Chains A and B, each alone.
Chain A
Amino acid sequence: MPKKSDTARKLDDVGIEIDGDVESAEEDKKTKGRGAKKPAAGKRGKAAASEDGEDEDEDDEPPKGRRAANKKKAAQADEEDSDDDIPQRRCAGNRRRGKVRESGRDGENEKSGRKSRKGGNKKKDGKGKGKDKENDKDSDKDEKKKKNSSGDDSKSDEEEESMSEGEMAKLMEEVEEKKKLIANIRNKPWRMRRRLKVLKEAQQFVDKFEGALGKGKGRKLYAYKVMMMKVLMGLPYGSIPRKTVPRDEQATAMDYSVLMDFNGYCKYSVLFYGYYNNQRTIGLLKFRLPLSYLLVGIGTFGYSLMVVIRTMAKNADVGGGDGEDNEFTFAWKMFTSWDYLIGNAETADNKYASITTSFKESIVDEQENQKDENIHLRRFLRVLANFLITCTLGGSGYLIYFVVKRSQEFANMDNLSWYEKNELEIIMSLLGLVGPMLFETIAELEEYHPRIALKWQLGRIFALFLGNLYTFLLALFDEVNSKLEEEDSIKNASIWFVKEYYANYSANNPNDTGTPPPIDPADIIRGPCWETTVGIEFVKLTISDIQVTYLTILIGDFLRALIVRFLNYCWCWDLEAGWPSYGEFDISGNVLGLVFNQGMIWMGAFYAPGLLGINVLRLLTSMYYQCWAVMACNVPHERVFKASKSNNFYMGLLLLILFLSLLPVVYTIMSLPPSFDCGPFSGKERMFDVIMETIDLDLPAFMGTLFGYVANPGLIIPAVLLMVLAIYYLNSVSEAYKNANMELKKKMQMARDEEKNRRNNKDSTNQVMKDLEDLLPNRAHAPPENRAEKKHDQGGKSPKVKPGTAGGGVHLQKDVSLASANPSARGPVTRAPGPRGPGPLPGQPGPGRGQGPPPRRQ
């Protein structure tokens, strides 16, 4: 932390001087280190072919550093430091922080290791073939130069360096080189200390990269490291600006409150979009991080869509195959509701309770069918309820918009209280808590059937959540747009800063043709990185959601259960049966919560890949936590609904939210420019440019032209048209099947009813049926009569079938179908007289009406 003051200075002219010092210090060190080479040390740069290997290395560093990562340079400097004097270290100190420390430690280890080995080499050295070997070395050096000195990089910190294309071959060569170096090192006219160091480094290099290239012991470890470090993350923390906490934030970056807001170190961690680098390929495997980032982001949506729709289709299949559900409500409940697998007393008790409630529910259904009330009042109440709920929804939307706006004001202020910082999350969570309760109260006005009421309720809660989320999102987009504007100026400032830095550097060191040491990543001016901001908002939302859910369970269920259970001994009324009672486990509400949570994952995962991990943890813990809560302090829900029946309802909600969360993400991918200095797409015009780039660079040329054709509007529009037509066609086909299905069902029903009738007739209704049959031709052509007869018919039959029935509603339906069944079941018969119809028809109505009733009463 004391180095901060240095940085501040560096930003001014002073910084340049310091860098100058660094350079001269390095030279000093060189001259000190090897007295013999002093003259050569003055002229650095490409001409220095005569210098020994290590000098070469140092020369190579700056270009490399410029090209790839600043960190390398720092690390290497560090290693040199171990040999060097203190002033150098002080200056370089600014540059290598954190990470470099590790390599420093490594260096020490190396040294101790080297010492043991040195003994053997030394003896051979004594033989004095010094001069020849030096020439060899020089040639080696030249080679190295050509190869961009990647060998050195990898030597000092290959972990941190990511390999570029064609590096494989280079690596091989380097490994060979290093081997040669190891074989010849005893002939070099170096001080033993330096020789040992070089030897150690060379050996390490060979070990590691031989492993990578297919032989040697380091292979597995290497492969693992490559996979984990390079392939997945690219450069580690601190290597480049986007992965480093800016200097002025570093003091507080580790504070708890800052971390809780997902700022500080969190903000520059793998959790968020900004961390990922835009390097095209990483490592030996040429892992294309930006491309895979985009493809995974989009692929997730595609896959989720597929899964949801497949599941819905499957559910629809199962549901459709069974015919009408209403046919055997009570019989099925009677004979199939007990699960013979139950072997646990508690489960059995719950099952008894749920069966009882389900029977009661069906009974209520039945009675409701018969009910007949003041329809105007009810309509009015329903309209009123919907009006109130719309108001609530609008109000909550406005509240959130207001709060988001306010939070943007807060963002520019200091000294915020805890509430002001977390206002948005708190308000959203509170709305999520209060809204559903409000809806439930309002819904009582409507007097819907419980099952329908539940769906309304769920739909409304869903609308509330979604409305809140979308308002939040819109407000966020406002912020994003302002950040995008802000970004332009910052971008210029950043570029200007870097240019200035290099200009100052060369101005202050006119005789130095090399490149200046790179700027510390913490000092570079950053853009706002709106993607990370969005990601942080989503993560914060998720976290506060988790907190609210857990607290609700703890207070609303556990505490309540405790009070009800233990205060019951000394209370005026029965707490368990009376008012507070135990909490119910609200299955539908919880499922809805899951659905909503899933929506947030879909929306946020693109900007905050770490959200997935957080949610996995959340779901795991909440499964066990809620399981405990349900078993310990909840009672079964009073109304039990068949999960399989509402499956598609929930899946429909899931599909809706998937679609809605897809919109903003795709919108940003397609139309917002990515931040210029963070994330895998930085430097691109649009995020999807990554795909174009891959097509251009990695696929054979003809593929590029192929894609060009495919992406042509001339092809896309007809394709879309074709798809629309296909959808239309399939739709009408399914419609036709549905109709056919309905027909078949009707026929089955008729057959069944007819059979029933026939048997009934055998007992006592023979006469009636005969009369009916006599009347048949008339009935087919004289609908009004039909109606009358049906009613009579029903009146006549019901006493027979079920004396004292209470369920008139269903009964009535049955009889209606029964009566209407006859004419169509006897289709052939009725149709035959059809042509003759006109004759008898005019005369029929009279007799028909006259004949009908009397026989029935017999």
Chain B
Amino acid sequence: MGNKQTIFTDEQLDAYQDCTFFTRKEILRLHGRYHELAPHLVPMDYTNDPDVKVPLALIVNMPELKENPFRNRIVESFSEDGKGNLSFNDFVDMFSVLSEMAPRELKAIYAFKIYDFNVDNYICKEDLEKTLNRLTKEELTPEEVILVCEKAIEEADLDGDNKLSFADFENMISRAPDFLSTFHIRI
């Protein structure tokens, strides 16, 4: 593993510290985790910002994400190219947003992205059905699914367009008592 100092320069670490909710130590540990995912791909030396991306398939196998029904969506929404390939920056960003320190508003934005399966900036019925099916492992009957989705939209939809815009979503999620405690990954 050699000399820890050579992974990042001090400026890089400071910058990361400012941009995330992590400390230097945690950044270095994240790098370790990132490196572990694809040892042959990811260099130990990050001082010159290598352009490396780890594909989605490797990332969703992290123990932190493996059991999450939305793991693909999480990774996709944090990847810059939208396909699920994460650079180290994306990687850090992801865990920073999911960390305990991140504020509710920030979490809400990314949660919206995650649940927006078809990336049309609205959570529509289709998205809700997918969400529901992943949450219940498709144990509900189709009628039940439709009922639940309709109810959910009816509850949260402020503007009556039959789909949830971000404003609707934020309004709803900002009052959810459990959101902060459940939308949280410890690494």
A contacts, CB < 8 Å to B? 318, 322-323, 327-345, 347-348, 352, 355-356, 359-360, 362-363, 366, 644, 752, 755-756, 759-760, 763, 801-802, 804-807, 810-811, 814
Residues in B whose Cβ lies below 8 Å from that of A644: 177
Nearest CB on B from A595, distance (A):
24
Closest to B177 in A: A322
Subset of 21 A-B contacts with CB under 8 Å: A322-B175, A328-B155, A332-B178, A333-B152, A335-B172, A340-B183, A343-B64, A345-B66, A348-B67, A352-B69, A355-B135, A356-B136, A359-B140, A360-B140, A756-B159, A759-B158, A763-B160, A801-B162, A806-B147, A810-B154, A811-B154
Measured in the bound complex, the distance between the Cα atoms of B116 and A822 in whole Å is 33
The 8 A CB mask of B174-187 against A (1 = contact, 0 = none) is 01111101111110
Are A807 and B150 in contact (CB-based, < 8 A)? yes
Measured in the bound complex, the distance between the Cα atoms of B172 and A478 in whole Å is 60
Any A CB within 8 A of the CB of B20: no
Are A327 and B155 in contact (CB-based, < 8 A)? yes
Any A CB within 8 A of the CB of B143: yes
Measured in the bound complex, the distance between the Cα atoms of B151 and A362 in whole Å is 10
Are B158 and A337 in contact (CB-based, < 8 A)? no
Measured in the bound complex, the distance between the Cα atoms of B3 and A720 in whole Å is 73
Closest to B178 in A: A336
* B:37-66 near A, CB below 8 Å: 63-64, 66
Closest to A761 in B: B160
Closest to B128 in A: A334
Task: With A334-B131, A352-B136 as known contacts, state yes or no: A363 contacts B175, CB within 8 Å.
Answer: no
Residues in B whose Cβ lies below 8 Å from that of A352: 69, 135-137, 139
Residue from the list A330, A340, A756 in contact with B152, Cβ < 8 A: A330
- How many B residues, CB 8 Å from partner? 50
Residues in B whose Cβ lies below 8 Å from that of A336: 173, 176, 178-179, 182-183
Measured in the bound complex, the distance between the Cα atoms of B157 and A802 in whole Å is 12
Nearest CB on A from B14, distance (A):
29
Closest to A765 in B: B160
Are A337 and B182 in contact (CB-based, < 8 A)? yes
Measured in the bound complex, the distance between the Cα atoms of B139 and A801 in whole Å is 27
Are A330 and B183 in contact (CB-based, < 8 A)? no
Any A CB within 8 A of the CB of B86: no
Task: With A360-B140, A363-B148, A801-B160 as known contacts, state yes or no: A338 contacts B68, CB within 8 Å.
Answer: yes
* B:126-151 near A, CB below 8 Å: 128, 131-132, 135-137, 139-140, 143-144, 146-148, 150-151
Are B128 and A360 in contact (CB-based, < 8 A)? no
Are A331 and B155 in contact (CB-based, < 8 A)? yes
Q: Which of A343, A360, A801 has the most CB of B within 10 A?
A: A343
Residues in A whose Cβ lies below 8 Å from that of B158: 752, 755-756, 759
Residues in B whose Cβ lies below 8 Å from that of A366: 147, 151
Any A CB within 8 A of the CB of B124: no
Residues in B whose Cβ lies below 8 Å from that of A802: 150, 153-154, 162
Nearest CB on B from A538, distance (A):
40
Residue from the list B136, B150, B184 in contact with A805, Cβ < 8 A: B150
Are B150 and A806 in contact (CB-based, < 8 A)? yes
Are B179 and A335 in contact (CB-based, < 8 A)? yes
Any A CB within 8 A of the CB of B75: no
9 closest cross-chain pairs (CB), A and B: A348-B67, A330-B152, A330-B151, A759-B159, A356-B136, A331-B156, A760-B160, A331-B152, A336-B178
Q: A327-B175, A330-B148, A333-B152 are in contact. List 14 more A-B contacts (CB 8 A).
A: A323-B175, A327-B155, A328-B176, A332-B172, A334-B152, A338-B69, A338-B182, A352-B135, A355-B135, A359-B136, A360-B140, A644-B177, A752-B158, A759-B158
Any A CB within 8 A of the CB of B115: yes
Any A CB within 8 A of the CB of B70: yes
Any A CB within 8 A of the CB of B92: no
Residues in B whose Cβ lies below 8 Å from that of A331: 152, 155-156, 172
Nearest CB on B from A353, distance (A):
8
Measured in the bound complex, the distance between the Cα atoms of B178 and A322 in whole Å is 11
Nearest CB on B from A268, distance (A):
52
Task: With A340-B68, A348-B67, A752-B158 as known contacts, state yes or no: A328 contacts B182, CB within 8 Å.
Answer: no
Are A337 and B135 in contact (CB-based, < 8 A)? yes
Measured in the bound complex, the distance between the Cα atoms of B84 and A527 in whole Å is 83
Closest to B67 in A: A348
Measured in the bound complex, the distance between the Cα atoms of B63 and A329 in whole Å is 30
Closest to B71 in A: A340
Nearest CB on B from A338, distance (A):
6
Are A356 and B140 in contact (CB-based, < 8 A)? yes
Q: Which of B63, B144, B157, B178 has the most CB of A within 10 A?
A: B178
Are A343 and B160 in contact (CB-based, < 8 A)? no
Residue from the list A329, A337, A355 in contact with B178, Cβ < 8 A: A337
Measured in the bound complex, the distance between the Cα atoms of B175 and A217 in whole Å is 66
Residues in B whose Cβ lies below 8 Å from that of A804: 146
Measured in the bound complex, the distance between the Cα atoms of B157 and A345 in whole Å is 34
Nearest CB on A from B137, distance (A):
5
